[in-house]
Amino acid sequence: MFLKILPLVFLLFSAQTLFSQDYKVEPINLDGLQKVISDAKGEVLVLNFWATWCVPCREEFPDLNKLASNYSSVTVVGISMDYPDEVQSKIIPFLKKVKAVFVNYVGKFKNDEQIINYINPNWNGALPFTAIYDKNGKQFAFKEGKISYKELETLIK
């Protein structure tokens, strides 16, 4: 009996390994972020700043996943504000747990003021923070605090 089941177990394990998401989280600085925004021209860009220690950030992740899955004309990009040395210990395990379907980076900015002033001077630095850019690369909406799928959908339409 065991010998009959063994090939099936091997096949299932192989398929799971073959189709499992391989998460890669690169550091991003201000120049890299400017490139992400510039490269998204022609599509709506939803830029979400989050951290693994932030409860509302974790709670809104399923809605960001849903948006990324349901709208091929929308680019969703996450920027973790955890420390860059926490990629393997915290960020990737979290992304695997929530089955993230969009690209995520870890912020490696000179300081908080640099990124806040570049993204939106009205942002007080609280997380989560979501900035939405139109197809021309111009920010047209932002939300400090947790954002829902319904809010995201309304803003991008």
Q: Which two tokens stand for residue 90?
A: 């915290």
13 pLDDT tier (thresholds 50, 70, 90): very low
What is the domain-level CATH number for residue 148?
3.40.30.10
> Does 19 map to a domain?
no
> Does 91 map to a domain?
yes
- 3-class secondary structure, 49: strand
**Rounded to whole angstroms, what are the CA distances from 114 to 18, 47, 97, 135?**
40, 16, 31, 24
> Does 2 map to a domain?
no
* Spatial contact of 107 and 81, defined as CB atoms under 8 Å apart: yes
> Does 13 map to a domain?
no
> Does 88 map to a domain?
yes
Domain count, the chain: 1
> Does 6 map to a domain?
no
* Spatial contact of 139 and 131, defined as CB atoms under 8 Å apart: yes
SS3 helix, strand, coil % of the chain, rounded to 5?
Answer: 50, 20, 30
> Does 130 map to a domain?
yes
pLDDT, tens only, 129-145: 999 999 999 999 999 99
* Spatial contact of 25 and 92, defined as CB atoms under 8 Å apart: yes
Q: Please determine, for residue 122, whether its predicted confidence score (pLDDT) is greater than 50.
A: yes
| Element (DSSP H or E) covering residue 90 | none
What span, in angstroms and rounded, lies between the C-alpha atoms of 66 and 53? 22
What span, in angstroms and rounded, lies between the C-alpha atoms of 52 and 61? 11
Q: Which amino acid is present at 69?
A: S
What span, in angstroms and rounded, lies between the C-alpha atoms of 104 and 6? 37
23 pLDDT tier (thresholds 50, 70, 90): confident
Percent of the chain at pLDDT > 70 equals 87
> Does 32 map to a domain?
yes
What span, in angstroms and rounded, lies between the C-alpha atoms of 85 and 90? 9
Range of the domain at 133: 25-156
